[in-house]
Structure 1
Amino acid sequence: MPTDPRVLFGQRLIEARKAKSWSQERLALESGLARSYLGGVERGQRNIALLNIYRLAEALDVTPSFLLELPSQDQA
């Protein structure tokens, strides 16, 4: 399992997005963030800002802490 928190956050974000059956494009529209930025976050290439974590959590109807939990084993 990766240990880089950016990668772990990205995996958790993918898990939450797929649970809603949303594409990156849909999440981008719902959160107001750029799709290319979201792709970088999901790949663990971006160091996401706290305000963006809150935007994503609100769009996905989850708590910010949910996004910071370790991803499920089947996603890792």
Structure 2
Amino acid sequence: MSVLENYNTVFSSVFNVDVSVLSDDFSSTSVDNWDSITQLSLVTAMEDAFDIMLDPEDILNFKSYAVGKEIVAKYGVTF
């Protein structure tokens, strides 16, 4: 599985959506069930999937599909 496929699988699983709906517009402002609990679930799943540990600031800023890619990339994950 590629890095992008793994990333998409985490989003798909946490938000219970098909991978086809994921885009740069997928964010906390456009997704009804994106709340603080879901965000923490997403962060935890990303940390597990990529064996990384996000800083608190990155956890707070992880509010969209696009920004999430940038944040995960900071920890050496190459898309």
TM-score (ref. length: structure 1): 0.40
Q: TM-score, structure 2 length as denominator?
A: 0.39
